Chains A and B, each alone.
Chain A
Amino acid sequence: MSPSNNEKLDQVFRPIREEAKRRRKAFREAQVPKIHIGMATCGIASGALETKKAFEETLAERNIEALIHPVGCIGHCYAEPIVIIDHPDSGFPPIFYHEVTAGKAQMLAKLFLEEGDPRFEHVLGATVENDLIPSVMEFSRFNQEKRVVMEKCGYIDPEDIYDYIAEGGYSALVKVLKLTPDKIIREVRNSGLRGRGGAGFPTGKKWELAMRAEGQIKMVICNADEGDPGAYMDRTILESNPHQVLEGMAICAHAVGANKAIVYVRAEYPLAVKIVTKAIQQAKELGLLGKGILGTTFDLEIDVFQGSGAFVCGEETALIRSIEGYRGMPRHRPPYPVEKGLWGLPTVINNVKTLATVPSILENGATWFRGIGTENSPGTAIFSVVGNVVHAGLVEIPMGVTLRTLIFDICGGILNKKKFRAVQIGGPSGGCLPADFLDTPIDFDSLTEAGAMMGSGGMVVMDEDTCMVDVAKYFLDFTQKESCGKCTFCRIGTHHLLRILERLTKGEGQDNDLEMLESLSEDIKTGSLCGLGKTAPNPVLTSLEYFRDEYEAHVKEKRCPALMCRPLIAYYFDLDLCARGCDACATCCPVEAVFTTSNRKKGVDQELCVKCGECVVACPPEYDAVRKVSPPDLVPVVERAPEKK
């Protein structure tokens, strides 16, 4: 593009940027308190809507002037609903409050906003270093993270494009519009960015192939069909900062020469659909999308397509079939979608995180990006760390951090001071790693080598009370249901794997079951076309490799060492501890399996018991009389009191 065109581009963008800055300045400098409330799905699920309402009502009732600023999610799910209150007149820095229920909101509005008392007992920390309140940056959950993709998530209003522009948004797009496609792709390639969807294919290479592919019309698809039952970072990014993804899509489209793009979001994410649709509209109004972007000749239309909830549609060829209106079944590759994709056109399909990383690379340069993470996996990784871990939520760390640092330092270790058993990485396609692997660095290659995979970034931490056979069964149950049915090995093989695992957890395991699991798993891997089938046996194979003794206990002794598989355990009350006349367990039992003995203590009718464990919770801690055993035939016999006549 000629220098005069570049100047013209700046001229078009400058007023937009200045307007954003003016709005930001007016908001910042307003001499009233500002209340930032995290309003993404997870915040709303924990009650953020009620919190917001409580703030609004109390402010109106007490005549307090304050601005409420709905923001996205910062990823600290354990503390939701999260509120930041910036009250300049109080003399305190902006403060993070955690678990702000409606009641807490009313109290904070009255005591802090009106009377200036920040209520230290509810403070998580200050947002900045200061002398009054410890900053959250002193916590490893904050200071050991490295935010590239989620930098602005939870700080800006996702429904206000100016909020994003004020933070430097869309300036990467402006920069890119002045470059030739070759230069953009070279920059992305030099950055070493690998696809965040799981497989880790170099993004620059994918773009280059699409650029060189023949055809006038090309497509860009943002894959937000996040189906892994324990990962929700794509949703959080779309809900908290949709424009960063749109900007990444625009950069990609400009680089490969596409004029049409589609965001493929799951219909199960209604808020994400709504926010992205609105973001596209806003960007169009400002001329950042649509016809003749920022006065140039580059056009880009972005549509939203709602995926209907099929895990296999995360696979790119299946995703394409579903947009075309068919059952989402993968097809053979090659031809790859970059040559023949949607409607037969060259199509780039990138994950949300990949596209959301792109603007920062173009803004700061490939060298900067290479400075984060490891040699072969530069950049950051986002994990949704859930399960039996203290500070659950989304964590963005530089690649190369070890699992131990992530689980024990950043996420606070195991809940209730229990022992670490295993970590499941990569969802249904990943594997379970035992404690020996805690010092494995997190990057594409190391995880694959250990038998797990980066996958979608789901990470489930499990304590000593988790049965590995049951976890493998859970994932198999999922993949078996989601198998599209095209390949026999995947369709029938996973069914049989599941049947064997079900047998084991019921104590009906047969002698050669473990060998059968192994050989069948290998066959499914070889005989399947797409990633779903190729990786479906991973949870079984890794748990079998690292926790074989548990499998053997299930087969040989009909015993579940973790006391989790319900057909293999039994509950009883320790009669030395059970309190005479206490009825706590009997009242809460959903199936009336608890009976009274002749000396007014309790026994369990093993025929009726559904093993829900409710009596364990109900039994007062002073008695702590409920016991679990495995195998169930070890349970002591307790007689019912004879019926009164």
Chain B
Amino acid sequence: MNQELTDEEQAALKNIVSKLSTFEKQRGNLIPILQMIQEKIAYLPPETLKMVAEHLGILECEVYGVATFYNQFRFHPPGKHPIKVCLGTACHVRAGDIILENFERKLEISEGETTPDREFSIERVACVGCCALAPVAIIGETLHGNMAPSKVEGLLMRIEIEKEMAERKKQKNEPVQ
């Protein structure tokens, strides 16, 4: 779990420190504080749990205990393209688990993990509320309905192609300078 923090995350961490002081030192603020941290840095690095424990004057294991209890909190940094596969009841009946399996196979990670290059992460989510489009997967902000195993490959390929296009564009622009 010990990832190196990126520069961006280091900056966010400083921001969190100043934000933390605006919260009153009450136990009831524990979950709102954890939510604030996750909103800023997208997951809960071990450093932050320690900070929260110190701020509220409780044991670090208490903070960890609460954070691990709730599904919302992540301890791994999400990928640049977080993939969420819906496994609500309607998606399950229409074989959402096969879609999840396909993403896992293609990216060679399991749900809840991030690829080593931090490009992709896979998560399973409960109903996203568009059961009429089941099975459903969300990549980044975009929802993809009526998913099929063969669509998985196409979607990942599209992201790959878009990335290559962006790089080529960048290369084209650079020599001009």
Contact = CB atoms under 8 A, between A and B. Distances in A.
A471 B93 contact: yes
A88 interface: no
A384 B128 CA distance: 13
Nearest to A236: B129
B170 interface: no
A45 B88 CA distance: 15
Contacts of A235: 129
Given A386-B90, A474-B92, A310 B101 contact: no
A392 interface: yes
Interface in B126-165: 126-134, 136, 143, 145, 148-150, 152-153
A233 B27 CA distance: 32
A394 B133 CA distance: 14
Contacts of A460: 89-90, 93
Interface string A253-277: 0000000000000011000000000
A325 B27 contact: yes
Interface in B85-103: 87-90, 92-93, 95, 98, 101-102
A80 B132 contact: yes
A458 B65 CA distance: 31
A268 B73 CA distance: 11
A479 interface: no
B122 interface: no
Nearest to B138: A45
Interface residues of B, number: 46
Interface residues of A, number: 53
Interface string B105-133: 11000000000000000000111111111
Nearest to B93: A387
A408 B126 CA distance: 27
Nearest to A40: B129
A235 B131 CA distance: 14
B69 A328 contact: yes
Contacts of A612: 95, 98, 101-102, 149
A230 B35 contact: no
Interface string A462-483: 1000100001001000000000
Interface stretch (A157-165, A208-216, A358-366, A613-621): A613-621
B2 interface: no
Contact of A424 (B72, B89, B131, B133): B89
A520 interface: no
A617 B148 contact: yes
A614 B148 contact: yes
A46 B27 CA distance: 40
Given A227-B126, A610-B101, A588 B150 contact: yes
Contact of B90 (A42, A227, A326, A387): A387
Nearest to B92: A474
A375 interface: no
B32 interface: yes
Nearest to B87: A229
A427 interface: yes
Interface string A30-50: 000000000001100110000
Nearest to A392: B132
B22 to A, nearest CB: 16
Given A227-B126, A392-B90, A458-B89, A327 B65 contact: yes
B94 to A, nearest CB: 8
B137 to A, nearest CB: 11
Contacts of A617: 148, 150
Given A229-B87, A229-B127, A309 B66 contact: no
A393 B150 CA distance: 27
Contacts of A232: 127, 129
Nearest to A618: B150
Given A323-B28, A324-B28, A613-B95, A45 B73 contact: no
B71 interface: yes
B93 A466 contact: yes
B39 to A, nearest CB: 9
Interface in A436-467: 458, 460, 462, 466
Contacts of A351: none
Contacts of A41: 128-130
A77 B131 contact: yes
A381 B105 CA distance: 42
Interface in B51-71: 65-66, 69-71
Given A322-B31, A590-B149, A45 B89 contact: no
Contacts of A227: 126
Contacts of A106: none
Contact of A231 (B102, B127, B128, B148): B127
Nearest to A327: B69
B27 A384 contact: no
B66 A327 contact: yes
Contacts of A228: 127
Contact of B89 (A267, A427, A484): A427
A111 interface: no
A484 B87 CA distance: 20
Contact of A45 (B30, B101, B130): B130
B72 A309 contact: yes
A325 B132 contact: no
A78 interface: yes
A293 B87 CA distance: 44
Given A230-B89, A386-B90, A46 B69 contact: no
Contact of B152 (A323, A327, A393, A590): A590
B32 A306 contact: yes
A230 B127 CA distance: 6
Contacts of B32: 305-306
B133 A46 contact: yes
A568 to B, nearest CB: 15
Contacts of B105: 590-591, 610
B15 interface: no
Give the most central of B30, B35, B106, B131: most A CB within 10 Å. B131
Interface in B1-56: 26-32, 34-35
A310 B128 CA distance: 16
B102 A590 contact: yes
20 contacts: A42-B130, A45-B143, A77-B132, A227-B126, A229-B92, A229-B126, A230-B88, A230-B89, A230-B131, A268-B72, A308-B35, A308-B73, A325-B26, A326-B66, A384-B131, A392-B132, A424-B89, A590-B153, A612-B101, A613-B149
Smallest CB-CB A-B distances: 10 pairs? A230-B89, A308-B70, A386-B131, A309-B71, A325-B30, A308-B72, A386-B90, A45-B130, A325-B27, A232-B129
Given A306-B31, A460-B89, 5 more contacts: A45-B128, A230-B127, A235-B129, A308-B71, A392-B90
Interface of A: 41-42, 45-46, 77-78, 80, 227-232, 235-236, 267-268, 305-306, 308-310, 322-328, 384, 386-388, 392-393, 424, 427, 458, 460, 462, 466, 471, 474, 484, 588, 590-591, 610, 612-614, 617-618
